[in-house]
Amino acid sequence: MAEQFLRTLMRTTDVAVTGLFSPAAVAAVGLADLYARLPLRIGLGLGSGVIALSSQDTGSGATGNRDEAIAQAVLIGALAGIPFVLFGFLLGQWAIRILGAEAEVARTGGIYLAIIFATSPARHVAIIAARSIQGGGDTRTPMYVNGVSNALNIVGTVILGLGLGPAPELHIVGVGVATAFGNVFSALALVGVIHSSWTPAGFARPARLTITRQLLAISAPRIVEGMVTFALEFPFNSILLLFGTEVNAAYQIGRRVHQQLTAPLSRGYRTGTSIVVGQSLGDGDPARARYDGWAAAALGLVTVGSLGVVLFVRAEWLVALFTDDPGTLSYAAGFAKAYAAAAPVTVLYVVLAGALTSGSDTMTPLVARVTGMFFGMLGISYVVGIRLGYGVPAIYASIVVYYLWATAYVAVGFYRGGWIERTRSMMDERGSTTAED
């Protein structure tokens, strides 16, 4: 959770520092970050696959299979990052320009995107290596490494971006260089840790296509989920812009406040749940896996739900930390309150989706999220907000409906328990079933 807090704080720092340069710099970084989410989705998808196999095989004692899955995932992640390197260098400015950006925004955004994409292989490797270690039961080492990396990133953004001390004032380039350095640092450090005897996880020579196939079978729906929701953000942002630039800016601020306050806990619970559920399944104890999933969901409901109450009560004050524009402030507070109202069910969705992932089921969260976003956020925003004329309040409601539906869907999927038999079947296929079975 501390790791997730620093990661979220790093992104908040980037926004705050670029805001000191110019509106064009903010737009350039914002547009480039839209594309930067693509390699992130692939990294997170492969990370979901490897944490499932790593946790299951740790629980069953099949450490050879676990270490081979880790090696394969790291190699696949590194190779999957290469196309993004080429895209950034060859098409970075074009990618920003086709979004309607002005010439200066396209130029600076293209440079920033090229710098970020240059380390896409490292970003993939860092995410996958961290999930691999966590799946083996070691959550401290990734926290230490990524904590140092994020801290260096934050300091580098401030120093290189603003030119503090003897450092040159690199503006948006400095922000990109700091992020790129953090990605490379994390990747090298985590790979070094796995290669050493510091953590239970290790590397084994990739040789079995069964492991490759299972790794991709679990990862693919998670990657598709990220890609589809990424694509759906464009029409949703277009709907926001129909109500004015202030509304769009207010949404970004309200969501950022929500993420900074609640996302570290939610993501931390998801990772922890993935580990304990996967290890319980690997140990041949599905009853304990069920209990762990529901218990983690209840813990998240109490803690993140309480933070949601704080966010709802203090919404006006919190969004005022990001803007002083009166028109934007009122809408931003509204979006913050909408996310606060959805916080209890949001954490339930995140935790139960993590439990299903370690149960080798990433299709249920995919369907839940995509249908919730399409029919909930987009559908209600357009039909009720625009066609029926209810305006921005309908968009507030759409956020709550989206998470209510997604949570209900994954809860039913977790309750039915099809993920238990799926995990057992996949473990049998790769020879990881415990001796008791």
pLDDT of amino acid 251: 87
- Could you report the per-residue pLDDT of 170-180, keeping only the tens digit for each? 888 888 899 99
Q: What is the DSSP letter of 377?
A: I
pLDDT of amino acid 259: 87
Which residues have CB under 8 Å from 375's CB, separation 6+? 405
- Could you report the per-residue pLDDT of 251-307, keeping only the tens digit for each? 888 888 898 889 888 988 999 999 999 999 999 999 999 999 999 999 999 999 999
Rounded Cα distance, 424 and 430, in Å: 10
φ, ψ of residue 57 in degrees (nearest 5): -75, -25
- For residues 60 and 31, which has the higher predicted lDDT (pLDDT)? 60
Q: Other CB atoms closer than 10 Å to residue 207's CB: what's the count?
A: 10
Q: Other CB atoms closer than 10 Å to residue 197's CB: what's the count?
A: 7
Rounded Cα distance, 270 and 357, in Å: 10
H runs (alpha helix) in 98-162: 103-118, 120-135, 140-162
- Could you report the per-residue pLDDT of 62-85, keeping only the tens digit for each? 999 999 999 999 999 999 999 999
pLDDT of amino acid 90: 94
- Interval 409-413 mean pLDDT: 97
- Could you report the per-residue pLDDT of 219-258, keeping only the tens digit for each? 999 999 999 988 898 888 888 888 887 888 788 888 888 9
Q: Other CB atoms closer than 10 Å to residue 104's CB: what's the count?
A: 13
pLDDT confidence band for 15 (50 / 70 / 90):
low
Q: What is the mean pLDDT of the chain?
A: 89
pLDDT of amino acid 19: 65
Q: Other CB atoms closer than 10 Å to residue 317's CB: what's the count?
A: 9
Rounded Cα distance, 139 and 293, in Å: 18
Distances (CA, A) of 68 to 208, 241, 277: 8, 48, 21
Q: Give the number of residues written for the chain.
A: 437
Q: Other CB atoms closer than 10 Å to residue 146's CB: what's the count?
A: 25
Which residues have CB under 8 Å from 210's CB, separation 6+? 429, 430
Contact predicate 99/28, CB 8 Å: no
The answer to whether residue 435 scores a pLDDT higher than 60 is no
Q: What is the DSSP letter of 320?
A: T
User: 338: helix, coil or strand?
Assistant: helix
pLDDT of amino acid 270: 93
- Could you report the per-residue pLDDT of 138-182, keeping only the tens digit for each? 989 998 998 899 889 888 888 988 888 888 878 888 888 999 999
Q: Provide the percentage of residues in the chain whose pLDDT is more than 70.
A: 94
The answer to whether residue 93 scores a pLDDT higher than 60 is yes
pLDDT confidence band for 16 (50 / 70 / 90):
low
- Could you report the per-residue pLDDT of 322-332, keeping only the tens digit for each? 777 787 889 99
- Could you report the per-residue pLDDT of 114-135, keeping only the tens digit for each? 999 999 999 999 999 999 999 9
Distances (CA, A) of 412 to 272, 303, 361, 419: 21, 22, 13, 12
Rounded Cα distance, 237 and 227, in Å: 16
- Could you report the per-residue pLDDT of 342-401, keeping only the tens digit for each? 999 999 999 999 999 999 999 999 999 999 999 999 999 999 999 999 999 999 999 999
pLDDT of amino acid 397: 97
